[in-house]
Chains A and B, each alone.
Chain A
């Protein structure tokens, strides 16, 4: 295989673009896709104070690296979730990435700062692990961005993430969720601007970016995510994609372009009933927000090791 641009030997084939690339031109393709996402969806300006939510995995480290590479100034935010050795190792990768590049990494620890961790919250709430984890992260991302006077919160959601969420929400016709599934969510009362500059790149491409750029990241999957519905959706979409390259791109980007504008009324209607949480002040539909309820329930529970829930952990590669 030869690079589509320079005809030198290719290192990667990208079927959805019907193209192969050498390392330098693969990186160029990734940069162009991120720049196009930022421009098309009014995500960022060079004046933004950017906070990148960093997990130590490929997507968040790739987008932090790309933003710095493109001339943006961006700090990182790492949340210690307390998922046993998986969290220990993921934090090591995030810290190493920041230290090697002289970047600022803000850290929050669920256990030290809020008295619980994800395994304990899972047991205490008797819900699926990703429920407590997602709620905790969304709340703390927003809070850290607002408290730190950042003007934009960047997350590493990629094309596969967005296509899988869209697939799940479409199967159930979850209109309020569909209406909010946009690459840019403007700042509004109590929420920072949130952007997803990787929505035009697949996770195979973000992983390849890390390999080519020599970025060490946590390859192993979260032990608490195994078998979740989201992974099943990705598997289904990748089976379709392998038969019909470009399907995921068309599914997601055409939704954003053609369908999401028709659903805006559903997102706005949700805003009308938000009021400050009486405990923490975050916007909520109830008197006390879901995060404060979670903290109260989980912090009162005896700590639960992740192995009691999953029977396995993570290793550094």
Chain B
């Protein structure tokens, strides 16, 4: 599957199928601070992502002045 990551913006090819929580674990990303989006739709952590899927892992943490 193709995985779009941010900060810095990059794209990875990762073998599938793979569940969302396993993908985040493999990339050492905390579920609390990321959303996984496939075809514009959120996918929960137990969803299986297919080998042909294109997914975005979107960080949700913002941390400027408050």
Contacts and interface: CB of A to CB of B under 8 A. Distances in A.
Interface of A: 1, 10-13, 15, 20, 23, 57-59, 129-131, 133-135, 137, 157, 160-161, 164-165, 202-204, 206-208, 211-212, 219-222, 224-225, 228, 230-231, 234-235, 238-239, 241-242, 315
Q: What's the interface size class on B, roughly?
A: 20 to 34
Of all A-B residue pairs in the complex, the 6 with the closest CB atoms, nearest first, are: A134-B65, A231-B63, A207-B60, A130-B65, A238-B32, A225-B64
Nearest to A10: B44
Given A1-B46, A134-B65, 16 more contacts: A11-B42, A11-B43, A12-B44, A20-B44, A59-B62, A131-B65, A133-B64, A133-B65, A164-B63, A202-B32, A203-B62, A204-B35, A221-B59, A225-B64, A239-B30, A242-B32
Contacts of A15: 31-32
Contacts, number: 102
B35 A211 contact: yes
B10 interface: no
A134 B66 contact: yes
Contacts of A242: 30-32
Contacts of A165: 66
B35 to A, nearest CB: 6
